[in-house]
Structure 1
Amino acid sequence: MSEPSREQIVSALHERPAIALAPGTRLDAERPGSLPVSPSAVWDLPGGTAWVYRGEGNPGLVRPVILADGFGTGPSELESSWQVLEFGDYPLISELRRRGRDVILLGHHERGASILDNSRTARAAITRALVERQGGTPLVVGGFSTGGLVTRHALARMEFEGLDHGTGLYFSYDSPHRGAWIPVALQAFAHYVRDLDGRFSDQINSPATRELLWRHIGTWNGTPDRDGARATFLAEMAAVGEWPRRPRLIGVANGTADGVGTDVRAGELALEGTGGSVVGTRLHTQAPGPDEPVAKLRVVAAKTHEVRTTGLPSIDGAPGGSLEGFGILADGLNALHPDLGLTTAVRIRSHCFVPSVSAVDIGELDTDDELYKDISALPAGTGGLDAYRLASRNEPHALVTGELCTWLLSHLP
């Protein structure tokens, strides 16, 4: 059989869903047997939508809990939110409603938009909840992953402007308060194939991703560094006081507190091209040290290019919430017809996405000593949160579990 043409490969890639990094169920997971319950109301907000579910027995909005959507690309989808929050390991929506809480699922027209832009949508949801609330029960406001940063900024900005947000409790669920991580190897691959399919690269270069990532590259051969968008975001957080001060601040993390990482070792081969169009491509987990090779890239070309880094820590195996970044890429390529020659073998599916120290605002990500520190040994009051809970095992980012949710529910006012 003849080699596939460049045009055939481009066409096949665009006929499939975009390769996009996001937490949630795998591509081969079964769809839930139930559909989302119809909401009591739908709010059309600037830059987003809120789906409102009244608590059991509530005649209107009585005890509102705003849950903001998290990391991803494209618009928030109600079915996806229910799949994660209700049909996964713990039925959080049902449990909140059973306790008389009104659930407001806050989504965005574009999850990859700037956190500061989506913060305006959160402010609109908070304002409307205050207008429609019956009685004086304080709001509970927070979010999952990026949603925790969106709502954190919204509340802090409202306080800075002298506005009443009526919130008694803020929570974050595995939110990257000190930054998130996507391996340089994956970022480089996304940009390397941009002329074949730019959607993966577009996600890596989206405003939200650039604001979130501790280190980012904008081209396949770029130098990992703090992106200008992240610098702007951090400056804005500093300008509004970093945190809201009126509500109690709590958070949970999908990583452990004991400083013990996963079995992902530094410098290991994670993904290898096996099809003729990608033979020579090899993506590795991040290794510390000077001039470390992290990727060899060859896609529909004769030449292989190498990517190296200097001074980055062993972050892929750090304790924290994980993302199946290498696995998502492999699944996307392997779903294409094998005659296109884009098949891969994946040896390591997951990497740390939100280190534990980031999710509970305890430390920076610059060194192994910081990433692998024993959080359980730190004195109370360390970090920006008033209270936090970490998981008993390192698990997927933003996984809704009974262990973390029961602790969260026990702290609701």
Structure 2
Amino acid sequence: MSKPVVNIWGTPEEAAPSAAPAAPWNTKWDLGNRHTASGTAWVFYSSPGEKTLKRPVILSDGFAPGGTNIDDLYDGLENGQYPFISTLRQAGFDIVLLGFADRTASILDNAGIATECIMRAIVEREGDARLTVGGFSMGGLITRYALAKMEAQHMEHEVSTYLSYDTPHHGAWLPLGVQAFAHYVKDNWGGIGKPVLNSFSNLVNSSAARQMLRWHLETATQTTLDVADGQHQDRIDFLEALERVGDWPQRPRLLGVANGTDTGSGNNIPAGDTAMEAYGPHLIGRLDAQGTGSRTVARMDKPGQEPTEIRTTGFPELDGAPGGLFPLAPALENAANFGIAAMLAGRVNKTEATLTHNASTFVPTVSAVSSDRIDNHDALYSKIDSERSDLHDFKCATTNEGHTTMTRELGEWIVDKLKEA
């Protein structure tokens, strides 16, 4: 799989720093003086000689540890399968990449930064061309809420097109076993001076993750979960806030793309199949791919303690569902979600774990195109019905590929749609 635009896990403290080449931005805006959050917008004019915005396209970064690294963000957009930024610029668009000082902060807080960026673009713009505003992964939720709130407050955003790129409109999926495993490792072997053993549990419990994940485990002690449960109060509060401002912006056309297929064809991870096993002197663990019925999806065993099991009831086969796959982390030997658990087990036992499946689905297609709930097994594995989507138009990938991967197929579709405006 090619590099994702948004690297969910980021880079651990002891890993090598990013080697991405410097992004050739023209100017930047420091944002957030009037907000609890802060951020930066990097502006790429349509041609080197330009000094003003004429056709602004604002694209928001998504969820990841720490603050936005503009070089990494630009690298994922430009130097993968498709040169998205330079193609847009050649078509006469000015690109504004919006980043945040804390990408794990509340979506509602960072939406204030997005609003400030939109207003700044209107002031800086020459002429009256309408704006395009959107984002990658959680960035699509940030800008969706920002635009809807501006309309609810009777603010003129001058946006003609909203664009989401593999955004979890109906929630993201992180296997409950992976969440529990991260918490279990932190609780038993983490602590001061052990950033990797702590970091993934901390990330799962961040404000943004609690709002974005459809099912969330805060600790490894919540051992049974029904499909109807598991929605964190932060997510409930976020969805209520979104509903209060109209749920979606009403004025722009709503476009979206998904890194998953629209045919109902999944990624061939069998439900119930063992994804990761660890056998060592300190930790014995096993994670299984999510299946239907009542089943154990995780078991963790530390000598001298009672084993911990995570059991689920009524869940669909989410790990193998059509959708954008959990991104690989190059700094962690290309580990994805189950791979992260294997890496943690290896750190604890000082011996390699057995990894059968590395990356499962992260954003199901039905979530990315906002056509159905991700707890509906039949909807997950059926052909997408465009009439059920909240988007006016969308494009799905031909194969299930890495979440937020910028491909020629999806990139060209977006450029063509923006040219139509």
Residue 350 (structure 2) aligned to one of 341, 346, 355:
341
One-letter code of the match for 1:44?
D
Residue 329 (structure 1) aligned to one of 317, 322, 341:
341
Distance verdict in 2 for CA 1:21–1:194, change over 3 Å: farther
Counterparts of 2:116 and 2:345, CA distance in 1: 40
One-letter code of the match for 1:219?
T
Counterparts of 1:325 and 1:132, CA distance in 2: 41
- 1:109 aligns with 101
Root-mean-square deviation (CA), in Å? 2.3
Q: Which runs of 5+ in 2 are unaligned?
A: 1-5, 33-37, 191-196, 327-335
One-letter code of the match for 1:35?
A
- 1:216 aligns with 216
Counterparts of 1:209 and 1:82, CA distance in 2: 23
| 1:85-124 alignment, distance < 5 Å | 85-124=77-116
| 1:300-319 alignment, distance < 5 Å | 302-319=305-322
Matched position secondary structure for 1:194: helix
- 2:39 aligns with 48
1:288 is aligned to 2:286? no
- 2:23 aligns with 36
CA contact (8 A) 1:277 1:301 kept: no
| 1:10-409 alignment, distance < 5 Å | 22=8, 34-37=21-24, 39-46=25-32, 47-56=38-47, 57-195=49-187, 196=190, 197-222=197-222, 223=225, 225-278=230-283, 280-290=284-294, 292-299=295-302, 302-323=305-326, 324-331=336-343, 334=346, 336=347, 341=350, 343-375=352-384, 378=385, 380-409=386-415
Counterparts of 2:234 and 2:43, CA distance in 1: 32
Counterparts of 2:100 and 2:301, CA distance in 1: 36
Distance verdict in 2 for CA 1:185–1:317, change over 3 Å: same
Instruction: Give 1:299 shift.
Output: 4.8
Instruction: Give 1:33 shift.
Output: 6.8
Instruction: Give 1:108 shift.
Output: 0.8
Counterparts of 1:319 and 1:301, CA distance in 2: 41
Matched position secondary structure for 2:394: strand
Deviations 1:151-198 (A, max 9, x none): 000000000000011111100000000110000000101111223143
Distance verdict in 2 for CA 1:69–1:295, change over 3 Å: same
Matched residues, number: 385
Matched position secondary structure for 1:217: coil
CA contact (8 A) 2:20 2:72 kept: no
Instruction: Give 1:326 shift.
Output: 1.0
One-letter code of the match for 2:95?
V
Instruction: Give 1:347 shift.
Output: 0.8
One-letter code of the match for 1:326?
F
One-letter code of the match for 1:136?
D
Deviations 1:94-140 (A, max 9, x none): 11111121111101111111111110010011010011001111111
Deviations 1:239-293 (A, max 9, x none): 1111101111100000001111111011111111133222x21111111112x10
Distance verdict in 2 for CA 1:296–1:33, change over 3 Å: closer
Matched position secondary structure for 1:358: helix
Identity of aligned residues (%): 42
